[in-house]
């Protein structure tokens, strides 16, 4: 009986292994159909052969594929041209000069160009008037510095500045200084709380005429 049970168990294992192999064949057929070498073999024929064998469950996409059979003939089109704009070179040069600008966020809902592209467009506009690239860069950098000064003055006055050549978001470049400033702030708050507690304790002692024993923690009544 034990031997018979072992034989049946062996047959079940063999069938399970066979079903697993058939399933793997179906997956591999789907993968190969997306590759250049696999296009010579029709996916529909392989899928029907495996599905009708009963080794795997019939996939839901098999019937639609039968209705609209995929074409066995493929033709690759020409490689699409890369889109380039005249200011792209100036944009790359800006990021090379200011690498941290790559980490600044971009407002996708805004209809205005990003400040880096606006800087490059302004530089390109100056260059088209006959100015060299270097001189145009210096001119636009001065305009950006002036815009930054005006924006800071408006922000101090509580107004919202109009920015085009400068970022509206400032990136924290010195994390250590920021952490130290936060620690200093928390230390000052803790010190103020400690001083207030000591002052309240002294006022309580004066009102009740008791003093605290710092060594034992007991209270002593004053002689008066």
Kind of pairing, strands 210-212 and 219-221?
A: antiparallel
44, 23 contact by CB (below 8 A): no
User: Residue 7 and residue 10: Cα distance in Å, rounded?
Assistant: 5
Q: pLDDT tens digit string along 4-25?
A: 445 545 444 444 455 566 666 6
Asked if residue 94 has pLDDT above 90, the reply is yes
Note the pLDDT of residue 34: 52
Note the pLDDT of residue 15: 43
Residue 161, SS3 per DSSP: coil
User: Residue 97 and residue 39: Cα distance in Å, rounded?
Assistant: 48
Note the pLDDT of residue 136: 96
Note the pLDDT of residue 117: 94
Angle at 103 between CA 163 and CA 97, to 5 degrees: 75
User: Residue 167 and residue 163: Cα distance in Å, rounded?
Assistant: 7
24, 30 contact by CB (below 8 A): no
Q: pLDDT tens digit string along 109-156?
A: 888 899 999 999 999 999 999 999 999 999 999 999 999 999 999 988
Phi-psi region of 44 (alpha: psi -120 to 50; beta: other; left: phi over 0): alpha
User: Residue 52 and residue 171: Cα distance in Å, rounded?
Assistant: 61
User: Residue 15 and residue 12: Cα distance in Å, rounded?
Assistant: 5
78, 52 contact by CB (below 8 A): no
Residue 219, SS3 per DSSP: strand
Q: Per mean pLDDT, which of 9-18, 77-86, 166-175, 209-218 is the most reliable?
A: 77-86
Q: pLDDT tens digit string along 26-45?
A: 666 655 555 544 444 566 77
pLDDT top residue among 84 and 61: 84
Which pair of structure tokens corresponds to residue 34?
């997306």
């Amino acid at each position: 009986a034990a031997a018979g049970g072992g034989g049946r168990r062996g047959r079940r294992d063999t069938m399970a292994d066979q079903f697993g192999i058939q399933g793997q064949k179906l997956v591999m057929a789907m993968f190969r159909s997306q590759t250049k070498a696999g296009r010579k073999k029709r996916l529909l024929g392989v899928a029907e052969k495996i599905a009708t064998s009963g080794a795997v469950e019939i996939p839901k996409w098999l019937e639609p594929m039968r209705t609209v059979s995929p074409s066995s003939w493929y033709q690759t089109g020409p490689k699409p041209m890369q889109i380039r704009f005249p200011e792209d070179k100036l944009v790359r040069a800006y990021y090379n000069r200011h690498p941290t600008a790559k980490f600044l966020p971009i407002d996708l809902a805004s209809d205005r160009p990003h400040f880096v592209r606006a800087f490059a467009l302004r530089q390109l506009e100056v260059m088209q008037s006959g100015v060299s690239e270097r001189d145009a860069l210096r001119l636009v950098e001065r305009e950006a510095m002036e815009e930054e000064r005006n924006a800071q003055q408006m922000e101090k006055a509580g107004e919202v500045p109009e920015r085009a050549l400068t970022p509206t978001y400032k990136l924290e470049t010195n994390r250590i200084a920021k952490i130290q400033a936060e620690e200093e702030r928390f230390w000052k708050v803790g010190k103020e709380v400690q001083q207030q507690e000591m002052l309240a304790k002294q006022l309580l002692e004066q009102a009740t005429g008791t003093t605290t024993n710092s060594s034992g923690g007991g209270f002593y009544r004053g002689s008066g």
